[in-house]
């Protein structure tokens, strides 16, 4: 009898215990497609009919999303390519609570509609008491776009030439602002701008004066810039884009602007990101005078930029909950990091793995505090292992420098050291197997 006639039916395979969990996790249609593909492989003789269910199960992902959790061993706290801020346990729990039906726009006491995200707005207002009012949109760039559209469409934004930055992935601040219909009135030079430059540019066409924190780079030498307090003396609203999401002064980052200081200095509006130094989800924060923020909140564009219930929940938990992973990583004790690196490296070395503890230098990332270095500690491995570690489960992303792969521990909680060690062991085992196979192949070639 043709063995292909024994290929199991699709419904029978879907009922197999190999796939029952996958149907619940990924959905019937996706699992069925994998089964049909495995049946086709069995018809060509590539696999045995009895292996259809197992082959289909092996071809399916563990999660419904293609995003994979990664161990950030780069030493960069807010790594943009790795999603910037890691959410706290409180924020993750809030996401789960908000995933179903919620009272996001409902007053349960009266049964009537309520202001969207009112508890989150209250938490943000409490975190920045210098703000007369607050609002949240979907990212930092959106916050600036809303301000430019509502306050300066068809008018001028006065801004220093030295602050017309590129914000990442090729997006440039001038292009972003001009897309709103505003015109830029550039003042000063790349390295020096004075209060007189701003004053000379302000007129009937001025929508507002914009001060942008030039993140990602530092200009030194023969320079001059105008602080917020001086700009507040001008006859125009002052909008300050601090970028990083620092709500209050941080002693570790003395040169990084914060919202509270800018508001106390006289800024009418401060815009910032929620997924940087604040340590929360991606969001754009608008903090300022009550009339101005209300004007932005009621603008038609605000509806297109509003955040969903998941962001509101995670942001509230970030603001009211315990220290975020971002704060923990920034303030990590270097002596503890060195001890962890030494212990892990010694354990791996005892197993015959070429590992060593090494000094490392991390950074803030996310466009924040570009001149600040964070002394750290790492486990050094062969540079050639970088790709294999990225391909592992979980993937491990480190830094290759000075001819070695450095796995910096600053951004990894101590309870993940064993997970990191197992990932290294898996790569070391594969490397050993490859060497043995190569040696065996060479020996066979010599004897043939």
Res 438: pLDDT: 63
Res 3: pLDDT: 62
Q: If phi over 0 gives left and psi between -120 and 50 gives alpha, with beta otherwise, what is residue 128?
A: beta
Separation of alpha carbons 238 and 266, rounded Å: 8
Contacts by residues 119-122 (CB-CB < 8 Å, ≥ 24 positions apart): 119/316, 120/312, 120/313, 120/315, 120/316, 120/319
Q: What is the DSSP string of 277-306?
A: TT-SSS-EEEEE-HHHHHHHHTSHHHHHT-
Q: What pTM does this model have?
A: 0.90
Q: If phi over 0 gives left and psi between -120 and 50 gives alpha, with beta otherwise, what is residue 63?
A: beta
Q: In tens digits, what is the pLDDT along the chain, a chain of 448 residues? A: 566 678 888 988 888 887 888 888 899 999 999 999 999 999 988 999 989 998 999 999 888 888 899 999 999 999 999 999 999 999 999 999 999 999 999 999 999 999 999 999 999 999 999 999 999 999 999 999 999 999 999 999 999 999 888 776 778 889 999 999 999 999 999 899 999 999 999 999 999 999 998 766 677 788 889 999 999 999 999 999 998 889 999 999 998 999 999 999 999 999 999 999 999 999 999 999 999 999 999 999 999 999 999 999 999 999 999 999 999 999 999 999 999 999 999 999 999 999 999 999 999 988 777 778 999 999 999 999 999 999 999 999 999 998 999 999 999 999 999 999 999 999 999 988 777 666 556 555 556 5
Separation of alpha carbons 401 and 46, rounded Å: 44
How does DSSP classify residue 180?
A: T
Task: For the chain, list the domains and their CATH numbers.
Answer: 3-59 (no CATH), 71-78+328-447 (3.90.1150.110), 88-322 (3.40.640.10)
């Amino acid at each position: 009898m043709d063995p292909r006639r024994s290929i199991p039916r699709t419904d029978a395979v879907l009922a197999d215990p190999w796939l029952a969990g996958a149907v619940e996790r990924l959905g019937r249609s996706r699992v069925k497609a994998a089964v049909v593909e495995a049946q086709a492989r069995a018809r060509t003789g590539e696999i045995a009919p009895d292996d259809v269910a197992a082959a289909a199960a092996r071809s399916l992902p563990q999660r419904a999303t293609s995003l994979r959790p990664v161990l950030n061993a780069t030493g960069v706290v807010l790594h943009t390519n790795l999603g910037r801020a890691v959410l706290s346990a409180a924020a993750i729990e809030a996401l789960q609570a908000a995933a179903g039906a919620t009272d996001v726009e409902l007053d349960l006491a009266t049964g009537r509609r309520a202001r969207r995200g009112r508890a989150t707005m209250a938490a943000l207002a409490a975190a920045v008491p210098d703000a007369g009012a607050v609002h949240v949109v979907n990212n930092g760039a959106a916050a600036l776009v809303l301000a430019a559209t509502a306050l300066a469409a068809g008018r001028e934004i006065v801004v220093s030439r030295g602050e017309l930055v590129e914000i990442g992935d090729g997006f440039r601040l001038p292009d972003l602002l001009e897309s709103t219909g505003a015109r830029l009135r550039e003042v000063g030079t790349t390295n020096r701008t004075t209060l007189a430059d701003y004053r000379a540019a302000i007129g009937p066409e001025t929508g507002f004066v914009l001060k942008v924190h030039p993140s990602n780079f530092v200009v030194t030498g023969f320079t001059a810039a105008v602080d917020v307090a001086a700009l507040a003396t001008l006859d125009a609203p002052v909008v300050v884009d601090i970028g990083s999401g620092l709500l209050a002064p941080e002693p570790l980052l003395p040169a990084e602007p914060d919202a509270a200081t800018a508001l106390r200095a006289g800024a009418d509006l401060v815009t910032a990101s929620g997924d940087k130094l604040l340590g929360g989800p991606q969001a754009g924060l608008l903090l300022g005078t009550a009339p101005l923020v209300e004007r932005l909140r009621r603008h038609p564009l605000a509806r297109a930029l509003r955040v969903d219930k998941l962001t509101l929940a995670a942001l509230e938990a970030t603001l009211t909950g315990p220290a975020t992973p971002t704060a923990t990583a920034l303030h990590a004790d270097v002596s503890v990091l060195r001890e962890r690196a030494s212990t892990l490296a010694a354990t791996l070395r005892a197993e015959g793995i070429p590992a060593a503890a090494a000094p490392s230098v991390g950074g803030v990332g996310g466009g924040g505090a570009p001149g600040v270095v964070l002394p750290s500690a790492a486990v050094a491995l062969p540079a050639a292992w970088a790709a294999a570690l990225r391909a592992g489960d979980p993937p491990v992303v480190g830094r290759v420098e000075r001819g070695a792969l450095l796995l910096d521990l600053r951004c990894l909680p101590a309870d993940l050291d064993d997970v990191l060690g197992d990932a290294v062991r898996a790569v070391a085992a594969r490397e050993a197997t490859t060497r043995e196979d190569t040696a065996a192949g060479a020996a066979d070639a010599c004897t043939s």
